[in-house]
Amino acid sequence: MPRIRAAVCTAFDAPLQIEELDLRAPGAGEIEVTLEAVAICHSDISYAEGAWGGDLPAVYGHEAAGHVTAIGGGVTDLKEGDRVVVTLIRACGTCPNCAGGQPTICIGDRRSDPVLMRPDGTPVIPAMFCGAFAEKVVVDQSQVVVMPQDMPAEAVCLLACGVITGIGAVINAGKMRPGDDVVVIGAGGVGLNAIQGARIGGARRIIAVDMSEEKLETARAFGATDGVLASEAAPWKTATDIMGRGADVVAVTVGAIPAYDQALRYLGWGGRMVMIGMPHSGAMASYEPVVQAFMGQQMVGSKMGDVVIQRDIPWMADLYRQGRLKLDELVSGRWALEQINEAIADTKGGGARRNVIVFDKS
């Protein structure tokens, strides 16, 4: 049983603690991955702050890249040495949702024996089926996709969540068609990828909405045709004036209630609002349902971009290798595991696109 270093959450809204933990060997259908990089997602921060509850102690982290270093029984499509992206999407493959092509909302039995424990035997939760703020993980084989060996680890790990969530929300959940007008509320990590998805999908106008002029400039570099400050008196009016009509797709990529309260105002006839950003539990938004009923508008939740990872991640990796998908530009900073609390603080500051923990390869 290898002993690894991990950043452990021992109390909500408190600094993570670097501890040495024991990692059990992979069981049937599982693999061990030695990590090269893991990105810090706002979901990790929200969990660590206690926004959605959960058990402690826990190890967060769910956007990871590494190499397979051990294989459990029954694993036939992977081998030691494979470069993989590690996602939180653990799919049984047989429940009604998986069988219907929606593995991101799998409802099958995903329980497993404890994976992480302290030297005294205390179990530690690998949150979101990953626990990737650590040197190694043991995950189900359904959670990984084999990647090209020549892709930088920092680029690979971004394909685990932020990229697939943003692109998939627009393409899969939003059902965007070429020529559609798209509004993306929030120009952070997920928002920039929603913008990229709209660009790749052939949108006519892509309007980024954010509180920061600097972020709007970044959004333009990722494909936004226009930017609107959310602090305007009526930003939806500015956006509809630019488009000449209401939007076909509005992607809400931030978990801010004001964003949800205003999002429907950007929509046109038959438009679709895609709900991506996750507010804290108990937070409530409001809207006038007669408008949606009369105008035939839709509100749809999207978890992890409604992706099928074995289909969508290789496609996105190929776009990156062609130079059509920006990944390197998403990396704001590279940090050591011991610096994780500093990296989290930098992420919470709002300016970072994605901070990445890079593990020593020696």
Query: How many whole angstroms separate alpha carbon 119 and alpha carbon 165?
Result: 36
**Does 172 lie in the same domain as 39?**
no
Whichever domain contains 245, its CATH number is 3.40.50.720
Query: How many whole angstroms separate alpha carbon 274 and alpha carbon 302?
Result: 6
Return the DSSP state at 73.
T
**Does 187 lie in the same domain as 116?**
no
Instruction: Write out pLDDT tens, residues 305-331.
Output: 999 999 999 999 999 999 999 999 999
Contact between 161 and 40 (Cβ < 8 Å): no
CA 188 to chain centroid: 11
Whole-prediction pTM value?
0.92
In the chain, the number of structural domains is 2
Residue 311 domain-assigned (yes or no)? no
Contact between 34 and 67 (Cβ < 8 Å): yes
Residues contacting 137, CB < 8 A, separation 6+: 23, 32, 33, 35, 64, 66, 86, 115, 126, 130, 131
**Does 212 lie in the same domain as 348?**
no
**Does 84 lie in the same domain as 23?**
yes
**Does 257 lie in the same domain as 194?**
yes
Residue 307 domain-assigned (yes or no)? no
**Does 191 lie in the same domain as 132?**
no
Contact between 181 and 247 (Cβ < 8 Å): yes
CA atoms within 13 A on the CB side of 148: 14
Query: How many whole angstroms separate alpha carbon 216 and alpha carbon 224?
Result: 8
**Does 142 lie in the same domain as 70?**
yes
Task: Judge whether residue 361 has pLDDT over 70.
Answer: no
Residue 141 domain-assigned (yes or no)? yes
The DSSP H or E segment spanning 159 is none
Instruction: Write out pLDDT tens, residues 147-185.
Output: 999 999 999 999 999 999 999 999 999 999 999 999 999
C-alpha angle with apex 13: 357 to 327, nearest 5 degrees? 30
**Does 186 lie in the same domain as 284?**
yes
**Does 205 lie in the same domain as 154?**
no
Whichever domain contains 34, its CATH number is 3.90.180.10
Nearest 10 degrees: Cα torsion 227, 230, 235, 238: -20
Task: Judge whether residue 232 has pLDDT over 70.
Answer: yes
**Does 130 lie in the same domain as 27?**
yes
| Count of CB atoms situated within 10 Å of the CB of 206 | 28
Residue 212 belongs to domain spanning: 167-302
Asked which of 134-143, 244-253, 280-289 is least confident by mean pLDDT, the reply is 280-289
Query: How many whole angstroms separate alpha carbon 273 and alpha carbon 285?
Result: 14
Q: What pLDDT does 350 receive?
A: 75
Task: Judge whether residue 215 has pLDDT over 80.
Answer: yes
Q: Could you give the residue ranges of the DSSP H alpha helices within the chain? A: 42-49, 96-99, 153-158, 162-168, 189-200, 213-221, 235-243, 257-263, 289-295, 309-322, 340-348
Average confidence (pLDDT) over 26-37: 96
Q: How confident is the model at residue 94 (pLDDT cuts 50, 70, 90)?
A: very high
Task: Judge whether residue 136 has pLDDT over 90.
Answer: yes
Q: What pLDDT does 290 receive?
A: 94
Q: Could you tell me the two tokens for 298?
A: 């839709």
Query: How many whole angstroms separate alpha carbon 354 and alpha carbon 242?
Result: 30
Query: How many whole angstroms separate alpha carbon 147 and alpha carbon 313?
Result: 9
Rg, C-alpha atoms of the chain: 20
Query: How many whole angstroms separate alpha carbon 5 and alpha carbon 14?
Result: 19
